[in-house]
């Protein structure tokens, strides 16, 4: 009997080990419901969505969002959230190489991340420096400051409209961002005089609008447009030709010219070029070899082309604060009656096309705020409205094929298949002639 028990004790462990080995190496074992539940549970945990904001798993913190109030500084904000003065000093020192804390502005958004326990300790202060960028102040033991970028989504949009009163109002009526009107005026600055647009003119635009958290940050990039002015199509297609980016027409010619059509946005012409004009201050007739643009005081004035400032002064009994720019051996332009000059603009300064050189005012002999704009060609005054500006280079030969494909696709998206069909007919006839 004892021998039987001894044998039994030896056999049982062997059977158990064999069973374990057999179980581990079987691939066709049918799992019980309890066995099946475990991997499903693990899978559900792995697929659980984690919400991130400012690069943090936000559910791990208590998030509070605010706006900077008037006269609030970094110290005032952090002190309000029970951050010690010693830590505030340390974090301000850390920030010096990343961000000037004195530039924290009222109205900007900021967030505080606290621990979720009863102590509610402030761990991170995040200041939204721009709509795209934020500054993270790490208040934990690591004590560091760094910049972060928000995730930007680009949404492709189209808008079409007809002008009844103004381009700005037409954009509003079309439920588009009114700032798009500024974009169009920049794109067509060399080809369309926006002081001459009016009722009946039409526009059709394809553009990308940048969004953050589903809200527009009013950053717009025009992809293609057609501005119908005086019943004439004016196409614009965005294209990068090597290192050069710009807008080109349906033939691949650059819309950019050597000179802008006008030195400022949105105003009205109050006095035209004339050899015999009645001066409103002097009360007598005299030549007025320029164009007066009436605009509110402080309206930015731009250089119409690249050049060098050759004169800067203040004629109290004449043009008031003025600048003269020499663009090349042929053309020079003069800008008068500034309220103030642009930054870093002086005699000898090189200026770029579109650079702000001053602001509309009423200095000198003037009855109200306006810009007196003059153009000289070979030393003689000419009518700025009749000046013909030379174009810049078209799309290069090596990239014209790529440009044509992009342009044709955009023409279809704009709904101008007729223009594309006409182009194909011309192209076919050209091929036949060449053969």
DSSP secondary structure of 103-116: G--TT-EEEEEE-S
The answer to whether 265 and 182 have CB atoms below 8 angstroms apart is yes
Buried b (16+ CB within 10 A) or exposed e, 382-400: eebeeeebeeeeebeeeeb
The answer to whether 89 and 74 have CB atoms below 8 angstroms apart is no
- pLDDT for position 415: 82
Question: pLDDT 10s per residue in the chain (435 long)?
Answer: 545 444 455 555 544 444 544 444 444 444 443 443 444 444 544 556 788 899 999 999 999 999 999 999 999 999 999 999 999 999 999 999 999 999 999 999 999 999 999 999 999 999 999 989 999 999 999 899 999 999 899 999 999 999 998 889 999 999 998 889 989 988 988 888 777 788 899 999 999 999 988 888 888 999 999 999 989 999 999 999 887 889 999 999 999 888 888 899 866 787 776 665 555 554 556 677 788 999 999 999 999 999 999 999 998 878 899 999 999 878 899 999 999 999 999 999 999 999 999 999 999 988 889 999 999 988 889 998 888 777 678 999 999 999 999 999 999 988 876 555 555 433 333 332 222
CB count in 10 Å sphere of residue 168: 15
- The backbone region for 312, taken as left when phi is positive above 0, alpha when psi lies in -120 to 50, beta otherwise, is beta
Q: Look at the pTM and tell me if it is higher than 0.85.
A: no
CB count in 10 Å sphere of residue 411: 21
How far is it, in rounded angstroms, from Cα 381 to Cα 62?
Answer: 68
Residue 55 is given by DSSP the state: T
- CA-based Rg of the chain, rounded to a whole angstrom? 34
**What would the two tokens of residue 421 be?**
């069909």
- pLDDT for position 393: 86
Sign of CA dihedral 115, 119, 124, 130: positive
**What would the two tokens of residue 62 be?**
């208590």
Please give the torsion angle defined by the CA atoms of residues 95, 99, 104 and 107, in that order, rounded to the nearest 10 degrees.
-120
Sign of CA dihedral 313, 318, 319, 323: negative
* SS3 of residue 126 by DSSP: strand
Sign of CA dihedral 396, 399, 401, 407: negative
Q: Which residues contact 249 (CB under 8 A, 6 or more apart)?
A: 234, 235, 236, 237, 255
Helix, strand, coil % (nearest 5) of the chain? Answer: 25, 35, 40
**Which residues is 212 bridged to in the sheet?**
215
* SS3 of residue 391 by DSSP: strand
Q: What structural domains does the chain harbor?
A: 54-149 (3.10.450.350), 153-248 (3.10.450.350), 268-386 (2.70.70.10)
Task: Give strand ranges (E) for 115-214.
Answer: 122-127, 133-138, 144-149, 153-162, 202-212
Question: Which tens digits make up the pLDDT trace of 383-421?
Answer: 988 887 776 789 999 999 999 999 999 999 888 765 555
For residue 406, with 0-12 CB atoms within 10 Å meaning exposed, 13-18 middle and 19 or more buried, which class applies? middle
How far is it, in rounded angstroms, from Cα 61 to Cα 53?
Answer: 11
CB count in 10 Å sphere of residue 76: 13
How far is it, in rounded angstroms, from Cα 303 to Cα 342?
Answer: 11
How far is Cα of residue 255 from the mean position of the Cα atoms in its chain? 20
- pLDDT for position 280: 59
β pairing state of 307-315 and 331-341: unpaired
Q: Residue 400: which of 188, 291, 237, 225 has the closest Cα?
A: 237
CB count in 10 Å sphere of residue 121: 16
């Amino acid at each position: 009997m004892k021998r039987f028990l001894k044998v039994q004790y030896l056999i049982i462990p062997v059977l158990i080990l064999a069973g374990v080995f057999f179980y581990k190496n079987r691939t066709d074992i049918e799992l019980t419901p309890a066995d099946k539940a475990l991997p499903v549970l693990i899978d559900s945990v792995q697929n659980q969505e984690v919400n991130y904001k400012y690069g943090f798993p936000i559910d791990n913190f208590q998030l509070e969002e605010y706006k900077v109030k008037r006269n609030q500084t970094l110290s005032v904000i952090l002190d309000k959230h029970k951050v010690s003065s010693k830590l505030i000093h340390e974090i301000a020192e850390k920030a010096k190489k990343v961000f000037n804390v004195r530039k924290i502005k009222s109205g900007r958004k900021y967030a505080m991340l606290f621990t979720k326990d009863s102590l509610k300790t402030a761990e991170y202060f995040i200041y939204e420096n721009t709509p795209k960028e934020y500054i993270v102040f790490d208040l934990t033991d690591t004590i560091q400051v760094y910049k972060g970028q928000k995730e930007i989504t680009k949404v492709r949009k189209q808008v079409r409209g007809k002008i009844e009163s103004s381009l700005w109002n037409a954009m509003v009526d079309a439920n588009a961002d009114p700032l798009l009107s500024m974009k169009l005026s920049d794109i067509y600055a060399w080809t369309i005089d926006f002081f001459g647009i009016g009722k009946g003119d039409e526009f059709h635009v394809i553009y990308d609008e940048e969004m953050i958290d589903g809200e527009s940050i009013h950053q717009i990039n025009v992809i293609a447009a057609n501005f119908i002015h005086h019943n004439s199509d004016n196409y614009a297609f965005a294209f990068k030709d090597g290192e050069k980016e710009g807008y080109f027409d349906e033939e691949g010619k650059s819309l950019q010219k050597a000179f802008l059509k006008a030195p400022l946005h949105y105003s009205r012409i109050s006095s035209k070029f004339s050899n015999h004009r009645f001066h409103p201050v002097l009360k007598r007739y005299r030549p007025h070899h320029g164009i007066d643009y009436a605009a509110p005081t402080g309206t930015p004035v731009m250089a119409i082309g690249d050049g060098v400032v050759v004169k800067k002064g203040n004629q109290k009994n004449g043009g008031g604060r003025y600048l003269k720019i020499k663009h090349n051996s042929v053309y020079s332009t003069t800008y008068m009656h500034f309220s103030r000059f642009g930054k870093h603009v002086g005699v000898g300064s090189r200026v770029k096309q579109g650079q702000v050189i001053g602001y509309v005012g009423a200095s000198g002999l003037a009855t109200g705020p306006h810009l007196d704009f003059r153009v000289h060609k070979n030393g003689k005054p000419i009518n700025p409205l009749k000046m013909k500006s030379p174009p810049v280079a078209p799309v290069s030969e090596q990239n014209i094929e790529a440009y044509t494909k992009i342009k044709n696709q955009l023409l279809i998206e704009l709904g101008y298949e007729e223009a594309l069909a006409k182009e194909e007919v011309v192209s076919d006839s050209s091929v036949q002639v060449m053969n």
